[in-house]
Amino acid sequence: MSVINMLLFGKPTILYDGQPLEFSVKKAVALLAYLVTTGKPHSRERVAVLLWSDASEEVARTSLRQAIRALRETPIGAFVLTDRTSIELDAGVESDVRAFQTYFEQTLAQTKIVFIHLSMGLSSKSTNLNPRNT
């Protein structure tokens, strides 16, 4: 199976089977970055306003359609899921940002467990060290 990997730390780069992809619409990469970092579907209207906030609503919708068309012209098009009202990125797309988010969440969860164990251990020992209990 083909692999799409998005490298967003530093200069954004989209790789398809290890080879960089080029897009005819500059904001296509911004669209992909937004979809991969949020990891959920969004309304087309919201995405259009977000990426083309300085344009009229009609121009923003047209620009979004052009960006989606530009993505469809590349292998990543198969990973862009759209319908009349929403757009999302297939969960199989890998990204350094997602990997970092996952690592951070796992580390945070492990840290919480360690603190719980430490606080339980300290609270039971601190009652033994209380001079009033001797």
pLDDT in tens, 31-79: 999 999 998 999 999 999 999 999 999 999 999 999 999 999 999 999 9
Annotation: CATH topology of 4-95: Arc Repressor Mutant, subunit A (1.10.10)
Give the predicted TM-score (pTM) of the model.
0.74
Q: Looking at the predicted structure, is the pLDDT value of residue 99 above 60? A: yes
Give the per-residue pLDDT at 52.
Answer: 96
Place of tokens 């309304």: 43
**Rounded to whole angstroms, how far apart are CA atoms 9 and 6?**
9
Q: What is the dihedral of CA 3, 51, 101, 78, to 10 degrees?
A: -20
Coil, helix or strand for 129?
A: helix
Which segments of 17-82 does DSSP mark as H helices, in order?
27-38, 44-51, 57-72
User: What is the pLDDT at residue 127?
Assistant: 47
Of the candidates 91, 97, 38, the residue with the CA atom closest to the CA atom of residue 47: 38
